[in-house]
Amino acid sequence: MPFISASYQPGAVRLRLALPRLRLTGLRAAALQHGRQLRADSLLLTSPTLTMWPPAQPPPPLWQLLAPVLAGVQLQAATVRNATLRVADLEHAPMAQTVTINARHLRVDSAASADRRRILYAQSWTAHTGQLSATFDAPFYRAAVQHLRLNTATKSLSLTGIRLTPVFSPAQMNRRKGHQASAIGIRLPELTAKGFDFPLLAHTNQVQARLLTVYRPWVLIASDGRGSINPTRSVITPEAVRRVPLRFAVQRLDIAGGNLYTRYRSPRSPIVGTLSINRFQGSLFNLSNDPARQTTATPLTGHATAWLQNRSRLDVRVAIPVLDPRGRHRLWGSFGPAPFAILNPMTAPTRFLRFDHGDLHRLHFVMQADQQGIWGSMQAEYTGLKLSLLGYKNGELKQPLLKKVISKAANALVIRDDNPRHGRLMPGQIASQRERRFAVFVLWRQGLISGLLNSVGVPQKLAQKLSEGKDQGPLPK
């Protein structure tokens, strides 16, 4: 069949369709002739290519669009096989390839449109696709999914081969955006949903699922501290959930076998700092922005275990009432044992701070946070802590004479080399003000830094100031 183009008044849906083959079986000719009812056993569309230009306003329901030609449609089965779908004139340029869709007991009329048991006029759907692709935050990212599969009868959905790929390096991102912006790469081998309520999504635009599972996610966050701070508030915060226009409710989200890598280039030196969180296993419960589900008494909760630098175990728990307008939430957990030196790949090139000696035996923290800041307490048990202040010259991190003298003085007069000392454990105070332009993860890091610095002997006010430090500099050339 040749190309078919359909266009109506300005602003309406525009379609361009290539349909090599259409097969209709079991047609009831009398129903079509006398009642304008299309009734048949099956409809098969093979290898169609469809390009759609979205309308300026939401179009009327399908049964209303068909009303001038057909009073109704009833098909026992409808199949689209090996389709290619594109949406034009959108920034994201979405495209789907090798799409196969099956509908059972399809009925298109006003009664079927209002039937809450039906999903887009059918009793059930199955679908599987080849690659789905789009741009994200154009032109900065490319997104792709290798395969999508869904079955409304079993309430299941799966996505495999998910990728978010930055187009530019961190320095290029900063130059193009005019401020600091991380380049984030994501690979998710598989994401599955069980207990997915497809009828609710079709009729109310709400998302509900019993269980989401993310398998072996890999995330790389690469940043460059040259450039000004992003002037807008971050959306990676608990209170931003209040502004999500889509109502959602997920009973449980599991993350299995994740790895997070960070790379940071400080304005102080071109040597990139690195840090990793490996073997991440965690669960979130009551992930929802539904006021009936998400309250102070029933917040989002979660727990996770991971390994810092693949060497030292982290255990963390959270309680976050995400609809709290003040952004209040709690975190607590433990860390260790570990040599302090595992932090050197990040602290030495970016903060000119090197841990020469010291072993952390156990660390426990409790933190509370809101829109103003974070506070709490930390207990760190360690021995033999010694550190050095560094400088950068001729492509190397070195310790000039002045910083060697300052390091010796700090180790002797400020740094508490053992904790407990003389049988007494000195706790650290967590205190840091919040910068609303940063993601909430930055606030959590500030709290841990301020508590650890105070634990090792840095005065609380200075520990807080150091935790709140922001890197800014001229944009990369």
Q: Per DSSP, what are the bridge partners of residue 14?
A: 53
Give the integer Cα–Cα distance in Å for 197 and 453: 48
Structure tokens at 212: 């989401």
The confidence score (pLDDT) of residue 5 equals: 45
Assess contact for 451 and 466: CB atoms under 8 A: no
Give the integer Cα–Cα distance in Å for 190 and 220: 17
Report the pLDDT averaged over residues 187-211: 96
Give the integer Cα–Cα distance in Å for 179 and 79: 49
CA 447 to chain centre: 22
The confidence score (pLDDT) of residue 9 equals: 56
Structure tokens at 123: 């009793």
Assess contact for 389 and 400: CB atoms under 8 A: no
Given a cut of 60, whether residue 1 has pLDDT beyond it is no
Give the integer Cα–Cα distance in Å for 71 and 87: 29
Give the integer Cα–Cα distance in Å for 448 and 442: 10
* Structure confidence at residue 7 as a pLDDT band (50, 70, 90): very low
Q: Half-sphere exposure of residue 372, counting CA atoms within 13 Å on the CB side?
A: 4
What rounded mean pLDDT belongs to the chain?
93
* Structure confidence at residue 477 as a pLDDT band (50, 70, 90): confident
Given a cut of 60, whether residue 10 has pLDDT beyond it is no
The confidence score (pLDDT) of residue 371 equals: 94
Token pair 């997920």 is found at 250
Cα-Cα-Cα-Cα torsion 56, 57, 58, 64, nearest 10 degrees, comes to -100
Measured over the CA atoms of residue 94, residue 97, residue 103 and residue 106, the dihedral's sign is: positive
CA-wise closest residue to 431 among 415, 416, 443, 418: 443
What count of other Cβ atoms lies within 10 Å of the Cβ of residue 471?
18
Given a cut of 60, whether residue 8 has pLDDT beyond it is no
Q: Indicate the range of 212-216, 230-234, 384-388, 391-395 predicted with least confidence.
A: 391-395
Assess contact for 170 and 183: CB atoms under 8 A: yes
Give the integer Cα–Cα distance in Å for 354 and 386: 9
- Do the bridges between strand 247-265 and strand 206-215 make them parallel or antiparallel, or are there none, so unpaired? parallel
The confidence score (pLDDT) of residue 444 equals: 96
DSSP 364-421: EEEEEE-SSEEEEEEEEEEEEEEEEE-EEETTEEE--HHHHHHHHHHHHHT--SSBSB
Assess contact for 267 and 471: CB atoms under 8 A: yes
Give the integer Cα–Cα distance in Å for 471 and 210: 42
pLDDT for 239-260, tens place per residue? 888 889 899 999 999 999 999 9
> Which helix (H) or strand (E) element contains residue 171?
helix 170-177
Structure tokens at 52: 């759609």
Give the integer Cα–Cα distance in Å for 299 and 123: 35
pLDDT for 37-51, tens place per residue? 999 999 999 999 999
Q: Where are the domains of the chain?
A: 1-80+97-116, 131-467
Give the integer Cα–Cα distance in Å for 104 and 20: 23
pLDDT for 393-430, tens place per residue? 888 899 999 999 999 999 999 999 999 988 899 999 99
Instruction: Give percent of the chain with pLDDT exceeding 90.
Output: 84
pLDDT for 68-107, tens place per residue? 999 999 999 999 999 999 998 888 889 999 999 999 999 9
pTM of the model: 0.90
Q: State the helix-helix crossing angle for 440-455 and 460-467, rounded to 10 degrees.
A: 150
Q: Per DSSP, what are the bridge partners of residue 263?
A: 222, 274
Given a cut of 70, whether residue 182 has pLDDT beyond it is yes
Report the pLDDT averaged over residues 100-116: 95
Give the integer Cα–Cα distance in Å for 33 and 185: 57
DSSP 72-124: EEEEEEEEEEEEEEEE-S-TT--EEEEEEEEEEEEEESHHHHH-TTSBTTEEE
CA 398 to chain centre: 38
The confidence score (pLDDT) of residue 58 equals: 83
